[in-house]
Structure 1
Amino acid sequence: MELVTLVDNLVYGEGLIGEHGSSFLIKIRNKKILFDTGQTNALISNAMYLAEDLTDVDYVVLSHGHYDHCGGLEAFLEINKTATIYLKSKAFSEKISMRQDVEHFIGFKLKKALSEYPNAFILIEEDTLIADGVEIIANIHTYTHDLVDTTRFFVKDENNLVQDQFNDELFLFIKEGIHAFLFTGCSHKGILNILKTAYEKNGHKDIQYVFGGMHFNGELLRHLDQYLMQFKHFGIKSFYVNHCTGIEGYFRLKLKFPQKVNYAFTGFHVEL
């Protein structure tokens, strides 16, 4: 399995664009998977700089309907007419963040109706196998409310604001031989719930590699340390965190697991 971070908040050097967002390019068994698209066309510019061809990506998997994960989809659809796009229907909800009692739209919108794009859009509600050993996990079970904070996130329903339960969230689970890889977008439903769901899905076997954002910010940072030891239960060999994990969250995790934690910044590349 080969991975390239096309978009992250953090970038080093010249030639690449960093933005508040996340996008991973995954290559496995002659398939290319784009997991999230960042918020702008930065993924296209960064892919060109890194000599990564996005025109032959096979699948796009969108973790949830926030602009920083889906906003770059329109730019991608301009260069790729064949990839199949997977997401949950609620990803198209009108998503709102409340900051200082002001509504901020944080969803995404496409310019055209789905039927007008040549790409196939598959709206899933159940766990879905998209290729050999590559499964989208749509049903994230709630085992705990630890490391979950959705207090400022809402969905607009007939002009009423309803607390967002993130029923649009999904994650990607890949098996290759004895190794298991988990890709999460923002872990709004809780990284411990996501890990436990994957662990159960994997027959109580180790989840060796975990990629993505863990949403260790805001109020969660105040109580983070008391929960970190729970990560030991899942047999994780390496964390590749970024985006909403936050720099402070990254360092707190790094202090707890110094040999296991890496930051997957824009342009990061690893083969496992």
Structure 2
Amino acid sequence: MMITTLMENLVYQKRLTAEHGLALHVEVDGQQILFDTGQTEGLIQNAGELGIDPGNIDHCIISHGHYDHTGGLGEVMSMNPRMKLWIHPQASLPRYNRHGEYIGMASPELTKASSRTEGVTRISETVYILPAASITYPEDLNMEGFTMDIDGKRVPDKFSDEQSLVLVRNGRLQILSGCSHRGITNIIQSAVDHFHLPVDLVVGGFHLRHSQDLDAIARILNGFKIRRIGVSHCTGVRQYTQLQTLVNAEVFYNHTGSIITI
């Protein structure tokens, strides 16, 4: 199994580009899976540089309906009309940040041909889509100030559309997260509660830049005894360095072009 980061906020290779966004490519079970699509079509160029053909992708999973995770979706779909899109029914609803600025999908109509997910969904022998995490640790929530339009009303966004990717390999879990608005600790707990297996790897955005209690979150993470943690995107660089000190795991920055082999 191989996880390649096609797009992330940082890059250290001249031939690749970076942007505020996230896109991960997974090769597993003889299939190719795209988890999120970044902010623009830049992931297409990076994929080519990394030897990945978007036309061969079998599945695309959208973690939630924000622009920096869905911006490249239209380009990928035009290159690969056979690709199966997995998305929550609410992901296409209009969404706004703390300042009232629109941050939803640029082309929500793309979701009309998707396979809608609401519960735990198995898409291959060892790959599952995990729905919105149950809230076990309220100290690890990243939803304040975010809103959405539903039935003509502007309401707080509880991120019911948020979903994660879980891979079960060798009796352990590998968990991929987009932004973890419902909390990375809650996502991990939900995965452990469902599969009853230990966690080997967690990769993705943890949305810790505005966290008021990183020490508490680190203590919860330590309780899971995770072997490797790859932080990306909205985690925050300062928070990454703090996690390296606070968490008893191999903590690394998962940037554009990173390749993880399992």
TM category, shorter: over 0.9
Alignment map for 1:18-29 (pairs within 5 Å): 18-29=18-29
Spell out the pairing of 1:72-87 with structure 2 (5 A cutoff).
72-87=72-87
Deviation at 1:177, TM superposition (A): 2.2
Give the superposed CA RMSD. 1.6
C-alpha deviations, 1:148-170, integer Å up to 9, x for none? 13112100235532110000001
User: Could you tell me which residue of structure 2 aligns to residue 39 of structure 1?
Assistant: 39
3-state SS of paired residue (1:16): coil
Task: Tell me the amino acid that sits aligned with residue 234 of structure 1.
Answer: F
- In structure 2, how many angstroms separate the alpha carbons of the residues matched to 1:59 and 1:136? 11
Counting only pairs closer than 5 Å after superposition, residues 164-179 of structure 1 correspond to structure 2 as 164-179=157-172
CA–CA separation in structure 1 for the residues paired with 2:34 and 2:192: 23
Secondary structure, aligned partner of 1:208: strand
1:225-267 deviation per Cα after TM superposition (whole angstroms, max 9, x unaligned) = 2331111222210001100111011111111237510111001
Match for 2:244 among 233, 250, 254? Answer: 254
TM-score (norm. length: structure 1): 0.92
Instruction: Using the TM superposition, give the Cα deviation of residue 98 of structure 1 relative to its aligned residue in structure 2, in angstroms.
Output: 2.5
Match of 1:137 in 2: 130
Per-residue CA distance 1:66-91 (angstroms, 9 max, x = gap):
00011110111121111100010100
For residues 131 and 2 of structure 1, the distance between their equivalents in structure 2, rounded to whole angstroms, comes to 15
Which residue number in structure 1 is paired with residue 257 of structure 2?
A: 267
Flag the 1:113–1:31 CA change in 2: closer, same or farther, 3 A.
closer
Distance between the aligned counterparts of 1:30 and 1:126, measured in 2?
Answer: 24
Q: 1:114 to 1:230 in 2, by over 3 A?
A: closer
Residue 253 of structure 1 contacts residue 261 of structure 1 at CA under 8 Å; is this kept in 2? yes
Between the aligned partners of 1:114 and 1:10, the Cα distance in structure 2 is 28
Aligned to 2:198: 206
Partner Cα separation in structure 2 for residue 89 and residue 111 of structure 1: 11
Return the match for 1:228 from 218, 221, 226: 218
**Match in the other structure for 2:207:** 215
Change (3 A) 1:258 1:10: farther
**Judging changes above 3 Å, is the alpha-carbon distance between structure 1 residues 137 and 213 closer, same or farther for their aligned structure 2 residues?**
same
Partners of 1:181 and 1:113 in 2: how far apart?
Answer: 28
Where structure 2 has 5 or more consecutive residues not aligned to the other structure, the ranges are none
Aligned residues: 262
Helix, strand or coil at the partner of 2:167: strand
> What does 1:110-125 align with in structure 2 at a 5 Å threshold?
110=107, 114=111, 121-125=114-118
Secondary structure of 1:231 counterpart: helix
Identity percentage of aligned residues: 31
Q: Indicate the SS of the match to 1:198.
A: helix
* Structure 1 residues 259 and 165: CA distance shift in structure 2, 3 A: closer
Q: SS state of the match for residue 155, structure 2?
A: strand
Which has the higher mean CA deviation after the structures are superposed, 169-178 or 105-114?
Answer: 105-114
Aligned twin of 2:30: 30
Q: Distance in 2 between matches of 1:88 and 1:134?
A: 17
Name stretches of at least 5 consecutive residues in structure 1 with no aligned partner: none
Q: For residues 74 and 154 of structure 2, what CA distance do their matches in structure 1 show?
A: 27
SS at match of 1:149: coil
CA distance in 2, matches of 1:192, 1:172: 15
